[in-house]
Every structure is written in C-alpha cells, then in structure tokens.
A and B are shown apart, each in its own frame.
Chain A
Amino acid sequence: MHNRRQFVNRLTALSALSFAGPIPHSLAQISNLSAKDSSQQSLLVIFLDGGNDGINTVIPANDPLYRKFRKRCRVEASRAIAIDDGLFLHPALRSLADVWEHDRLAIVQGVGYPNHSRSHFVSTSVWHSGNLAASPEHGLGFLGQAMDQRQIASDAPLAYSMGTSDTPHLLRGRQTRTAAPPGIVLSEAQGVADLLRSQTPSSTDNLDARLVESQKHSAIQAIDELLRQRPFKDAQLPETPLGRQLGQVAWLVESHNPARVYFLKQAGYDTHSGQMPNHAELLHELSSAVSAFDSRMHQGGHDKRVTTMIFSEFGRRLQENQSEGTDHGKAGPVFLVGGSVIPGLHGSAPNLEQPDDGDLAVTTDFRSIYRAVLQELGDFDDPFVDVVSPIKLFRA
C-alpha cells in the first residue's frame, strides 16, 4: 500500500490557513464516482437478537403437533394471517403481510446449519461469520470478509452499523470499515452544513487535502438531503427505536452513500418466560418499521438497490416450557424484503413429525442464502463457494 509518489507529494500546499480558488474539478469527479458506487446493490441486515420463535412467526397453526406442543405459547389460526395452505403469519406482522401481498417478501423456511448450537454466543458467531467452527464474538464476519477487497478501492466506509458502539461481528473484516450514522440532531444540522459551506475549498493538488474536502462536500450534501427529506421521513417511519434507525438507513440510501451494508439489531427475542405479549410487541415493531422502510424505498425508486435480510441466531424449542415461554432451539425462518427478491415461500417447512432432538430440524443451510445474497450484491467475494450451493432467491 505504500506509495512513494504520495510520500513525495506531501502537503506542501497546506501551509496557508485559508484556501483560495474554485472547487477543483476533481470534486465533481469524486461525486460522480460515489454516485456510481451507490447505484450498486446494498444490503440491510436486521438481526433478531436472542433467538426468535420461528414457529410463532411463520405458523403451521392447524398442525396437530403444533397444537399439542404449544398450549400457552400458541397463535390461533383464527387470529393469524393466512399466507399459504396451512401456514400463517403472526397477527403482529400485519404490515409485513402487506409487503407479502405486494410480492416483495421472500420467506426461507427451516434455516440453520448442521449440528446446530443452542448457545447464543456460539450460534450468533456462526451466523455472523458463516463459519461453523467460529468462536464467540471473535474472528472475521462473513460480510466484512466479503467486502475486504471492495474496501481497498473505496475511501468511504462500506458498512454502517446503527445503534451499536462496536463493529458487529458480521462486519468485521481485514479491510472493511464500519461507520456509525452521523449522530446529528436536526437543530444542529443547518449550522453544521453552513459552517462547512462557509469554507473556501482549496485548489491544492494534494490528494489528501482533496479527500478531506470531498468528504466535507459529501457531509454538506448529506445534511441538505436530511433537511430536504425530513417531512417525508417523519411521515413514513414509526417513532420506535427500530423505526428511527431504519429512518437513518433510508436517509443514507437516498443520499447515495457509498456504503453497501447496513446492520442493525433488535434485541429481546430470548423469550424464556411470558413470551406471548413480548413477542407480539417485538414482531409489531419489526413489521411496521420494515414495511414502512420498504414502501419508502419503493416510492423513492430505490427498492431495486437495497434488499433487507432478517435472521436470528436460532429458533426456539417446539415444546414450550413451564414458564409460558420457550427455550433455545434450532431452525428458524429467514426473511428477505425488496424489489429484487423472488416473493413467496422458499425451502421446505420443517416436518414437525421428525423433530431434531425436540427442535425444528434444519432444511436449508443459512450459507446458501448468504451465497444468493452475495451474488445479488455482485462484486463481493464469496467465501462459501466450495461449501454450499446458493438457492435462487432473486429475480434475474
């Protein structure tokens, strides 16, 4: 990476305090570049932290075995939303059912991996790394690795993590950089943009100084965009933690931010007791935020550019426990949302008559979904080529 030319061309032009001269042509070129970058596909990952009860999310409500194992943690067909023969969505997923109706939702059933771990930490790191032997919270993430080569060619972070202070495992790579969204409140935004705008850009040939100026320029654009779209945004996304974070993602996508992956997590799915009301509340927050995000992307013409993938580290046990809750299990459904997905059910539903040690058995390897997503993203490295085959989840 060492570049002798850059070394020789150090900032000799930087000694003057204020710069004079017009915006260099390179700025326009840089903007063009980033516009081109961001026309590529991006991915929004929502991680349901704690182990989502998959069988109460996509529900075989009339299956006698479901009714036998679930007495208190049971959703009745009469209240649920029918999506297929004998298959229902949880009633809290009402707005996601609209997305389903509009052919923009794919549900992959029975997803997991061989010898599934019931440990939060182990299974989370398996899902985040794509490596079945991953150690908890350490090592590289599958998206971080997949983006490493792209990051080398990009000055801007290729990943955003919303609402986390550290880099999520999924995004850890050797090169990949993860940013947090600009934590700017609207009352400050105009002042910040004005201050940045008040500075005369330099006419320097120095590449580093130009980088700083191009990033300031992007910052001004991003804030302008934020201010311009505020009423639209407020009208569209729910005022929940997830809704606000998805609002930031929407803003970044609409601002043509060069990031390719956005990550956020919704915690609280570890429903060992008193599951029914808590689970419904979580699914409601998820469903309303995701469907609002999707319709905003759709209306803005961005929906072919961004796909949402929703997964959890494991499903829960078929047999409910004694505390009106459920314990750690294995397979669960994965949701994909967007204008590029092949809508409908994918994979085969786990057979309740043949559980895996009391859990829903895995019918689809999660890495086959990752492979489909990586292919859709186009220019990422695929670490799973020799491991599994991709399943077809996206329109050609």
Chain B
Amino acid sequence: MSHWQPFSINGSPNDDAWNLRRVVHLHRRAAWGATWPELEIGVRDGIHASVDRLTNPATTLLHPRTLEIAESAMTRNSVSLLKAAWVNEMWHGSDPLGEQLTLMWHNHFATGFQKVKDCRAMFDQYLKFRKHARSSFHDLVRAMVRDRAMLIWLDGDSNRQGHPNENFARELMELFTLGEGNYSESDVREAARALTGWTARGGEIRFDTNGHDAERKQILGRTDAYDADSLVDLLVSQPATASRIAWRICDHFLGRDRVPDDAIEALAQSLRDSQLNVGKAVEQLIRSSLFFDESQLGARFTSPASFVVSNLRSLELHAVTDGPAIIPEVAAAWMRNMGQDLFQPPGVSGWPGGSSWISAATMIDRTRFAVNIAQGTLHARAPRGDLSALAKRYDEDPVSFPAKLLFGSRERSAEIVSLPQLLTSTLAQFD
C-alpha cells in the first residue's frame, strides 16, 4: 500500500474528513498559518483547490516591502533587517509554500552570516533557494557550488590546486547530497580537488583556471577530470541523494522521525523517476493520505518559525488595518530567542529540530512571547492579540473560536481560555 496515494475523502470512513482541522494542518505545514477568512475559504473550496492555491501561486515575485527591507539590510549590512525581510515575505508573500521550501533549503544548505558577514551574499543565496525551491535538485546544487556565501562559509575560497581544502567537499557529500556512509575519505579528498578554482574574493564569484586542478580524480569508483559541475552530476545521480532529499522533505513537512523508512524510500523513488523534481515530490506529499493522516495532525513539534510567524499571522497581527502591525524584526528576534535564528543556523548541519525545540528555557520564552502578545507589549505601540475581538468580527462564539482558529479543534472548552494560556498549552507546542 502506498503512503503517498492521494488523500481521498470518499475512501475515508469519516464523512467530513475534509474539515477545519485538516485545513489548519495544511496551512501550518505548507504555508504560514491562516487567518480565519483563509480557513473558511479552505473548508469551502475543498482539498484540491486549497492545495492548488499553494502549489500554483499566481506569482512568486517578492513582496515590494520585502525588497525594500532587504535593500536597506544590504546597504547597512544588517542581518537583523535581512531576517525582517524574510519574515515579511513569510507573512505577506504570494507564495507561502515556496517560502516554506526556501526555509527548508536554508536548513539543508545551512549557511551562517556569522562567518559570511555579508548580507548581499546571504540574500543572493536566499534568492537562489527561492528560485530553485521547486525545481530539479540538480539545478539547486549546481547553484550552490558557485554560491558566494557557501564558498565563504565552507572555505571553498581557500581550496586551490595543490592546497585542497576538504571542508566543502565533505559537507557536499555528507550533508547536501549522499549522506553519511555513502562515500569514503578518499572520495572527499578527490572531490575537493574537483571543486578547486572557484573563488569569492572581492565580493565576486570567479573561476580561476590556474587555481583549478584539471587532472583526473577517482570519485565513487569512477575516474574522470572532474570539475565542480561534473562532480555535481555524479553526486546527484547517485540513488543515495534522492533518499537524502526525500528524508529532508519529510523532515520539513512532517517533522523529525515522523515518517516510516519505507515511505521515505518510496518518495525517494518518485524523486529518482522525475530527475529529482522537488516540486512534484512536495506536491505528492501534501496531497497524500499520509500527510493528512490522523496520526500526523498536530503531531509535529512546533518550530519557532511556526510558533512566531504562523501564530502572529493567524491572530492577524502581521497586518493590522487601523494601526502599526507587529514589526517583522521583532518577530525574528523572538524566533532567535526560541532557538531558530534565521540566516544564523547553529552549524553546517542546520537546526536539529524536533524535540530539540523544547527546553525549559524555550518554554519560558514561548510563554513570555504569549504574554507580550496578549498585552500588546512585543514592542512600543504594538497591536494587542485579541481573540474576543476576532470572534466578534467574524461573528463566532467567543468560547470555541480560539481553539478553532489555532488548532482547528471542535472541542468546546468550559470557559474562555486566555490567549497566553492557549499559546502555552501543551497542544500549542505541536502543529
């Protein structure tokens, strides 16, 4: 039986299998949370139209305000502003699924401003993640071997003929493509030679023929005069690469260790069949019976990105009509407090995710965040999160509305639960 067959409403024993809970699920995983009107549209339009909206966005152009913030981030080389630009795109962008994939690739090719020290390089890399978010993984890796931020981050810059630096070669094999155990130390040394010649000095990417080792190299049992591109060709053609990408997609959309190995392998096979077309695989996943399975609903540890960006969006604090909205820079700073600092992942292997998001310290920060939202004290003149006002606006029962909005839950609690209680409940630590 296939885990990835389409989720079927008719095949379900439950008549209203397409319900508010699954609409919330879809938007928490494949977008950045949903406002109440967006949830109502999702319920009304059904699964196909709801998924189509995410997989076929009308445009993938950056939101004008995102560009503005990014421009000033680059002018001042301010990484806090760059984070703000990204949060703005998560909130207001026309391609929320693409933005989820962009975060997935940032985590996969985890590159940190702390070493790159250049917002322009970080933003360029971010644009590549967006551009190739749904394309062939092959194109994305080709873009990465000539990416300035990546070359600085993994010392590709100091990798020259006669002075090979194995850093990039090792991570390219271990983290980005094949995965551990699928290559030898000698493959790393030889691959480092293939990658020689690319430099990022003076703010520009250049291929220096004199710095490139054009001799033959033996990699994964094959001998050729490999260069960066033919090395990438070789690596992405290995079956192990599809397995690693399938794992990454499942990790991002379903959470760490939430998918059985045979399902990951089945998704890997789909990827191989499509020449690593990521968009296809992701679409297959978010239409699947496994994605919408009861066991997956509310079963993933909520990441700081989801806790901050999606909750604020559901509460409509990202776009207040009658006053200033939450400042995206502040939202990004809270994500950092909770352990997910955009553009500054903890190391080359990205954020460990899963249960690592939850600690006493992060629970304190999530609680403080919730209290500050409710009090309107996230920053000066910040809007106040107000569930009763939202319930009133949408003519909903104030007692049941909060859990419907945030969890798609139909249970009616005995009394009104306050926003801080709701956001610090154990339930809210999962999405």
Residue numbers of A with Cβ under 8 A of B are 1-4, 6-8, 10-12, 14-19, 135-140, 155-157, 165-167, 172-175, 177-184, 188, 191-192, 195-196, 198-199, 202, 208-209, 211-213, 215-216, 218-219, 221-223, 257
Chain B contacts for A7, CB-based, 8 A: 257-260, 295
Contact of B411 among A17, A182, A218 (CB under 8 A): A17
Interface pair A17/B409, CB less than 8 Å apart: yes
Chain B contacts for A192, CB-based, 8 A: 364, 367-368, 371
Q: Is residue B112 within 8 Å, beta carbon to beta carbon, of the partner chain?
A: yes
Interface pair A195/B295, CB less than 8 Å apart: no
Known interface pairs A14-B298, A15-B411; A166-B367 also in contact (CB < 8 Å): no
Q: Enumerate B169-192 residues with CB–CB distance to A below 8 Å.
A: none
Chain A contacts for B421, CB-based, 8 A: 195, 198-199
Contact of B364 among A4, A157, A223 (CB under 8 A): A223
Q: Is residue B275 within 8 Å, beta carbon to beta carbon, of the partner chain?
A: no
Interface pair B261/A137, CB less than 8 Å apart: no
Stretch from B7-15, B226-234, B345-353 forming part of the interface with A: B345-353
Known interface pairs A155-B355, A156-B359, A211-B355; A11-B299 also in contact (CB < 8 Å): yes
Residue numbers of B with Cβ under 8 A of A are 112, 114-115, 153-155, 158, 165, 167, 256-261, 294-296, 298-299, 301, 336-337, 339, 341, 344, 346-349, 352, 355-356, 358-365, 367-368, 370-371, 403, 407, 409, 411, 413, 417, 420-421, 424-427, 429-430
Chain B contacts for A135, CB-based, 8 A: 155, 158, 165, 167
- Closest-CB distance, B44 to chain A (whole angstroms): 23
Question: Bound complex: CA of A199 vs CA of B348, how far in Å?
Answer: 38
14 new A-B contacts at CB < 8 Å, known A2-B261, A208-B430: A7-B259, A14-B299, A137-B114, A138-B115, A139-B167, A140-B347, A157-B361, A166-B341, A172-B346, A180-B361, A188-B371, A202-B426, A212-B358, A218-B363
Question: Bound complex: CA of A10 vs CA of B301, how far in Å?
Answer: 12
Interface pair B424/A181, CB less than 8 Å apart: no
Interface pair B257/A18, CB less than 8 Å apart: no
- Closest-CB distance, B311 to chain A (whole angstroms): 16
Question: Bound complex: CA of A6 vs CA of B68, how far in Å?
Answer: 45
Provide the main secondary structure of the chain A interface. loop
Question: Bound complex: CA of A137 vs CA of B365, how far in Å?
Answer: 28
Question: Bound complex: CA of A381 vs CA of B154, how far in Å?
Answer: 25
Chain B contacts for A139, CB-based, 8 A: 167
Question: Bound complex: CA of A221 vs CA of B421, how far in Å?
Answer: 19
Chain B contacts for A174, CB-based, 8 A: 349
Interface pair A180/B360, CB less than 8 Å apart: no
Interface pair B347/A172, CB less than 8 Å apart: yes
Chain B contacts for A216, CB-based, 8 A: 360, 363, 424, 426
Interface pair B411/A16, CB less than 8 Å apart: yes
Question: Bound complex: CA of A195 vs CA of B365, how far in Å?
Answer: 13
Chain B contacts for A10, CB-based, 8 A: 258, 295-296, 299
Interface pair A219/B367, CB less than 8 Å apart: yes
Interface pair A219/B363, CB less than 8 Å apart: yes
- Closest-CB distance, A145 to chain B (whole angstroms): 11
Chain A contacts for B259, CB-based, 8 A: 7
Closest to B344 in A: A166
Chain A contacts for B429, CB-based, 8 A: 212
Chain B contacts for A219, CB-based, 8 A: 360-361, 363-364, 367
22 contacts between A and B (CB under 8 A): A3-B257, A14-B299, A17-B417, A18-B417, A138-B154, A138-B167, A156-B359, A156-B360, A165-B344, A166-B114, A172-B346, A179-B339, A179-B359, A179-B362, A181-B361, A182-B360, A183-B365, A192-B367, A196-B363, A208-B299, A212-B363, A215-B363
Question: Bound complex: CA of A192 vs CA of B371, how far in Å?
Answer: 8
Interface pair B371/A191, CB less than 8 Å apart: yes
Closest to B296 in A: A10
Question: Bound complex: CA of A19 vs CA of B261, how far in Å?
Answer: 32
Question: Bound complex: CA of A107 vs CA of B107, how far in Å?
Answer: 42
Chain A contacts for B407, CB-based, 8 A: 17
